[in-house]
């Protein structure tokens, strides 16, 4: 069994079937470290290193800056309309999923 910090797991999931390859790359770059599980020696626990946390924080900051730059160009009225539409769409998708699941 492998236990992974959420941030590390998200990176591995985005890689599709290459999760092992991504984890090896993260280990080689010293962005994560691996430990043997405390309850089960077959378990591997992957955690972000300080360097990994710094890199993740920098990526989040860049992403937030890009999002802010895109959204700031829209008038408040259009953003409010988009929010209403997004909420209505989300509600409709949830209703559909509930109806389909019985």
pLDDT of residue 84: 97
**Regions of the chain short of the pLDDT cut 50:** 1-2
- pLDDT the model gives residue 7: 61
- Please give the pLDDT value at position 37: 80
CA dihedral 44, 49, 53, 56 (to 10 degrees): -60
Q: Which CATH architecture has domain 1-69?
A: Orthogonal Bundle (1.10)
pLDDT confidence of residue 20: 78
Q: Which two tokens stand for residue 55?
A: 């890199």
């Amino acid at each position: 069994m492998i236990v992974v910090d959420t941030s590390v797991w998200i990176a591995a999931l985005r890689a599709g079937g290459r999760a092992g390859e991504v984890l090896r790359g993260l280990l080689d770059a010293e962005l994560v470290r691996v430990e043997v599980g405390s309850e089960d020696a077959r378990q591997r626990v992957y955690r972000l290193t300080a360097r990994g946390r710094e890199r993740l924080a920098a990526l989040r900051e860049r992403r937030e800056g890009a999002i802010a730059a895109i959204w700031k160009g829209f008038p408040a009225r259009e953003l409010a309309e988009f929010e209403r539409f997004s909420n209505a769409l989300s509600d409709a998708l949830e209703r559909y999923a509930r109806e389909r699941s019985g």
